Amino acid sequence: MDLTASTIAKPPRQWEAQTFALLIAIAVAAGLGLLLLVTDLATRSARTSAEALLIENGLYITLSFGYTLGFLWWQRRTREVLRIAGDPNGRAADHWTVLAWYFALAGSVMVGYLLRADAFGDPAVELLWTAGRTAIRVTGFVFLLLAVGQVRNQVREQVARSGVIFRIPDLAARRSPLPPAILPTPPLRPAVDLPPADDDFWSRVAALGSGVAVLETTDAVARRWVSGDLTTIRAALPPGAVVTVFPQPPAADFTPPRAADEYHGFLEDDASGALWYQSVRPNRVEAFMARARRARRWALYPADAPDALTAVV
């Protein structure tokens, strides 16, 4: 079965967890900023300027630096994910709300500089500017919450379009070969102009040696890699399926193939041993190779490989 047809590609779980943690941190900072805005307006007249600055610089500024550094680190991690998913320029990580947050951050810093320079003189005016700076920060938090949420959606869409599977362990339940079906499988539409997968065909496959890659195609579009000895493989193939055998075995140091219009991608998960099939176009080869470097074994076969053996069951 072609896993790319039945499985929607999703970003790494670790990235999703980091995104959720960042959203929580920003929301907490926004809530604290709103609380400080209210309390500052209510109690500012009863406190000295030094006391007010001590409270701000003690907790709020520390939290602000923390979420800012966290966002910058998360953005870098996001661009790494997009690079693997076929977006080397990281366009899915851009949104106008990110720029709006940068402007709000710059405005807050500018007002803070004026406050430290005692540029206002009048305590009442200084109170209004202090409250205004906190309001700018809270507005920035809102923009940043929107930005992270929107970028997360854009990254999910880009990964889904690319077909790059970051969560290969999720496919462990589809380990090849699949167990025999309990109910009889109805015959598939027969392929035309292909020889039968008879004893002579399998004798030629056996002569290729062990470790060959066996690809099963059903209904012309659904594909899966089948593993095991030849007896097990033959038993797992349903009637009417097209079987294609590639002589070069998958390996950790597989030799990249010649240029082609389309490739059959083979990946074996390093942790679970699950096999995963991907149809790879030339513009997706780089993304596939990024995943292959983390696999136990991999291979990339041209769809029109002249040395492949093909037959119909």
Structure confidence by residue, pLDDT tens digits, 237-262: 888 888 888 988 888 888 877 788 88
| Alpha-carbon dihedral 272, 276, 281, 284, rounded to 10 degrees | -20
**pLDDT at residue 130 greater than cutoff 70:** no
Q: Comparing C-alpha atoms, which of 50, 51, 53, 59 is closest to residue 32?
A: 59
Distance CA 18, CA 152 (A): 11
Out of 45-49, 127-131, 204-208, least confident range: 45-49
- Does residue 36 surpass a pLDDT of 70? no
Render pLDDT for 86-125 as a digit per residue (tens, 0 to 9): 788 888 888 898 888 888 878 877 876 666 655 555 666 6
DSSP annotation of 1: -
In this prediction, residue 288 has a pLDDT band, given cuts at 50, 70 and 90, of: confident
User: DSSP states of 204-251 as a string?
Assistant: HHHHT-TT-EEEEEETTTEEEEE-S-HHHHHHHSPTT-EEEEESSPPB
Please, what is the average pLDDT of the chain?
75
Tell me how crowded residue 62 is: count the other CB atoms within 10 A of its CB. Answer: 10
**Confidence check: pLDDT of 133 > 80:** no
* Cβ–Cβ under 8 Å, residues 213 and 301: yes
Q: Is the Cα torsion angle 171, 175, 178, 183 positive or negative in sign?
A: negative
Above 50 in pLDDT, residue 6?
no
